[in-house]
Each structure stands twice: as C-alpha cells, then as structure tokens.
Amino acid sequence: MVRAREIATVVPDDPGGHPAGHSAVGDLRGPRLLNDSDGLKAAIHDIARAHGFDVAGIVRPDALGEAKRHLAAFLAAGAQGDMHWMEDAERRGDPRVLWPDVRSIVMLGVNYGPDEDPLTILSERTRGAISVYARGDDYHDVIKPRLKAVARALIARASGDVKVFVDTAAVMEKPLAAASGLGWQGKHTNLVSREFGSWLFLGAIFITLELPPDEPERDHCGTCRACLDICPTEAFPAPYRLDARRCISYLTIEHKGPIPHELRPRMGNRIYGCDDCLAVCPWNKFAQRGREVKLSARAALTAPRLADLVRLDDRAFRALFAKTTIKRTGRDRFVRNVLIGIGNSGDMALASEAERLVSDPAPVVRGAAIWALGRLAPQRLAALAAQHRAAEADAAVADEWAVALGEATA
C-alpha cells in the first residue's frame, strides 16, 4: 500500500501527543518503576489501553527469525513489483540496522473489525468494493499520536529514548507482532489474532530499555487453506508466500501503470484493496467490532456507485477522500480501478461513462476506459477508433486499442 515514510523520535514535550499532564499519563507515572523492567512491562498494557490500543506485546529486536530470509526470497523473485521501498532487506531484516540503540520493541494493535461481512458487496456489481481498512480516516493519522502518547508515558516512567512507527519505515510489523504474541502470520501472510481475527492495525515503539519479551503466538492455521483458495487472482504460489504482483490490493493501490489484462476480469468490483483472504478466515468468528469511531466506515464509502465515482475529477476526488488513505493513490489510478469495475459490471448503462473517458488526459485512465468500453459495447468502441486512435501518443494506450479491437493479444 502507498505509505508515507518517516521516523518520529518522541521526547517528553513532543506536541504530537497528549500533554505531559494528561490524566492517562499522569496516573501511570511514578519513580517506583524507574529501574523495574518487569513492573514497567506490566504497566505497558494499562498505558496502551488508556490510549486506545486493544493489545500490546514486547519483542526483542533480534526476534525476526526466518522473516529476513523470507523477505530475501520474496525480493529475489521480484514479487514486490513496484514497491521498491521494500528492497532494503538489510534494514527491514534487522531493526538494529534501522536504529542501533534499540533494545526492545513494543508492538501495539488497534482493532478495526467491521460490523458486516466485507464480501457481501462483491455481488453488487455496479457498486465499488473498498477495503475495510480504507473506509474510515487514515489509520496513520489516528494511531501515530497515540503511539507518541504511549511512548511519552513510558519515558516518563523510566529513562531511555524511543522512536515510534506506524507503517512508516523499514519495519517488518507483522513478523514483529507475531513474535510479540499479538497473533501469528497466517497462510495469507497477514496477522491473525485469536481475539480479533484479521482486523488489527499495528504500531511499533522502539525503546532503548531492556524489557522482558512476551512469548510468540504459535501458528493456529492447521490444515485450513480458505484464504488461499478464495484469492481471485491466485496471488499465493504456496502457503505463507505472496506474489504481490497478482494481489488486488497491490494492483489497485501500489501499481502505477496499466493493470495486466489477465487479471482485470478477476478483480470484479474491487476498486481499492481486497478483503477476501482476510474476511474468509475462520478465526474471525471471535472478532469484535472496532470501537474507534474515526476508523469506522464512512457511509459514502460503504457501497458507492461506480457511476458516481467514475465522474470524479481531481478536485472532487480530493474532497471525497479527504483524510483517508485512498487520497494518496490519486484520482487517475483510482478512476482506472473504477473503470475496470465498470468493465466487469455487465451493465450497459455504464458504457457511456467509459466512452466519455476514452479521451481523458491521463493515459492510465484512457487505457482502462478503452478496455471497459470494449467489454460492454465493442461496436461503439470500434466506431470511436477512427476519431481517437490515430492521435494517441502513449504506447501503452495504443496497445489497449490494438487489444480491444482484436489486432493483438494481451
């Protein structure tokens, strides 16, 4: 997913979190724990809950185990696609390379469990399916101030330095969360919690103090392969292995160019992210609805009409998706995704929307519009070819014309 990358060093008077006098911090202070790592560890869970986290665990920075090797194999296969920011395996594979002073890592989770089955929307082919995590406010903006507040509470109790991360640096959050006991990485490579199922946002606090680590959670997947079998694009070449280049979340969020023709029909109406492998996990029977209002789904993003979304210009796009993670993707890539949904809708009433965008200024939009119109109304596309094709200067869009008119294969 598209992510801002930064490291936030937290100091007691950091304006990003609660002031030092905040009650949730003040009542957890006290000199008695300054040199008591066990006592401080016990207090961490109370501090975390006081600041809105649902679960916390502690792990040593050298606890990644096989995760570094798995990352190297993932990168060697080119499975990261356009996500070049993942390619610094040395930093990702050892938190001490990122920050040599770190001695312990506090992993925290916020539950964002939905109040409905995220897969129901997939049958409503003229409406867009947006991943659960993206329907509310940007989780980075919600969680980071809380991480800073927890970090300040920790250093108010004991000496030391801290850094906080929420999906913003070369940190392998999921393996670290598993090693800290928050859950385990399932066969779909995502974190699964016995208490919260698939629905945890993760944050990390690196601290210079030596804290007793928690026990890692063991793998409870057993023989189940529901997450592997449901994947519409067959993005899992084997259990516990992901090829991001085939993952709908990657394709709709990270991938900048045209989406491979082979995968477009399999996307259905998934226009931002994909919840299939998460939602089908049997451990979700224990999941709870998230309690953070800011992370709850906005009504406008629960089942939006493709006909409305495809008409968004840049200004309207920014207004609709203000303060969400979707805004980072940009209008052009988002409308590309919507056009693929339109092409898969089977609704001839949407053909005119695709036809209108055959001349859009953005090549990635034009190409998707050609594909969608070719799926819904190939005769109308053929009639437009004489008007638009000769003037097309973009090679990728020219290829879309050739494929849509049957002159080449995808």
Question: pLDDT averaged over the chain?
Answer: 89
pLDDT at 35 (0 to 100): 53
Query: Which residues are within 8 A (CB) of 289 and not within 5 positions of it... i.e. 6 or more apart?
Result: 113, 114, 115
Mean pLDDT of all residues in 338-362: 98
Q: Is 5 helix (H, G, I), strand (E, B) or coil?
A: coil
Cα dihedral 167→302→256→204 (10° resolution): 0
Which residue numbers are catalytic? Answer: 167
Is it true that domain 8-113+136-207 has CATH number 3.40.109? yes
**Distance between CA atoms of residues 358 and 376, nearest Å:** 14
Give, as one character, the DSSP assignment of residue 289: -
Where are the CATH 3.40.109 domain residues in the chain? 8-113+136-207
pLDDT at 410 (0 to 100): 75
Q: How far is CA 321 from CA 116, 130, 342, in A?
A: 22, 12, 20
pLDDT at 91 (0 to 100): 85
Q: What percent of the chain has pLDDT over 90?
A: 76
Q: How far is CA 337 from CA 109, 250, 329, 376, in A?
A: 30, 12, 11, 16
pLDDT at 290 (0 to 100): 84
pLDDT in tens, 34-86: 457 777 888 899 999 999 999 999 999 999 988 888 998 999 999 999 998 88
Q: How far is CA 218 from CA 88, 187, 198, in A?
A: 28, 13, 16
200 forms beta bridges with: 111
Query: Which residues are within 8 A (CB) of 394 and not within 5 positions of it... i.e. 6 or more apart?
Result: 363, 366, 367
**Residue 13 pLDDT grade (very low, low, confident, very high; cuts 50, 70, 90):** very low
Whether the pLDDT of residue 282 is over 80: the answer is yes
**Distance between CA atoms of residues 132 and 279, nearest Å:** 10
pTM for the complete prediction? 0.89
Mean pLDDT of all residues in 255-282: 98
238 forms beta bridges with: 241
Which helix (H) or strand (E) segment holds residue 174: the answer is: helix 173-179
